[in-house]
Chain A
């Protein structure tokens, strides 16, 4: 059974701080997704990665396949980054249903 563990569960930081959210996953997961959900909002896919590193604006996602670990970083954090960040994985070439972490509730204070 695929498993995804995410930490921290809650994170409060000041505007401008560098943010790191971590995700560990089980054998069998070959693709790792980072998702964002604003309060009362829908889910937006930020990244899907199976190796290496991806960057989009102030967001960076990395994955270490050997250690089965991924991180999501936010540089120069801003209050609008406040959201729940969810790590999710799937297998079978990434073409099956996602297994989700419990999410990290991030609050960026001005």
Chain B
């Protein structure tokens, strides 16, 4: 079965531009997470979607960051007016339902470079 996929794999943009990053979770997984991995900060949580519940946005670093999940499946992370400090690898992970098995499955990431 297919794992978590992300696109694009690499994105280079100019400071001030908006970018959209896409995540396709494992089919049937109800939970979806966005994380980012940067040299200075390591791995950090951004946002979490669970089914139809309101997302947990507590990790978003600023109001330039937003995410949506349409139809409980595909998710898009949008960064507006990108800054150089937004350069990082953006990782998506998904998890099956319930609390018995909470293993998260990670996608390959999107490497974002803001010039």
Which residues of A are in contact with B by a Cβ distance under 8 Å? 31, 33, 35, 42-45, 48, 86, 88, 90, 93-100, 102-103
Contacts and interface: CB of A to CB of B under 8 A. Distances in A.
A35 to B, nearest CB: 8
Contacts of A94: 99, 102
B49 to A, nearest CB: 11
Given A43-B91, A98-B43, 16 more contacts: A42-B107, A45-B103, A45-B106, A48-B101, A94-B99, A95-B31, A95-B50, A97-B35, A97-B48, A97-B56, A97-B58, A98-B45, A100-B42, A100-B43, A103-B42, A103-B43
A87 to B, nearest CB: 11
B99 A93 contact: yes
8 contacts: A33-B104, A42-B107, A44-B106, A45-B104, A45-B106, A48-B104, A94-B102, A95-B99
A96 B106 CA distance: 15
B44 interface: yes
A8 B102 CA distance: 26
Contacts of A98: 33, 35, 43, 45, 104
Specify the main secondary structure of chain A where it touches its partner: strand
Contacts, number: 56
Interface of B: 31, 33, 35, 42-48, 50, 56, 58-59, 91, 93, 95, 99, 101-109
A96 B43 contact: no
A44 B99 CA distance: 20
B66 to A, nearest CB: 16
A100 B33 CA distance: 14
Contact of A48 (B44, B59, B103, B106): B103
Nearest to A42: B108
Nearest to B59: A97
A106 to B, nearest CB: 16
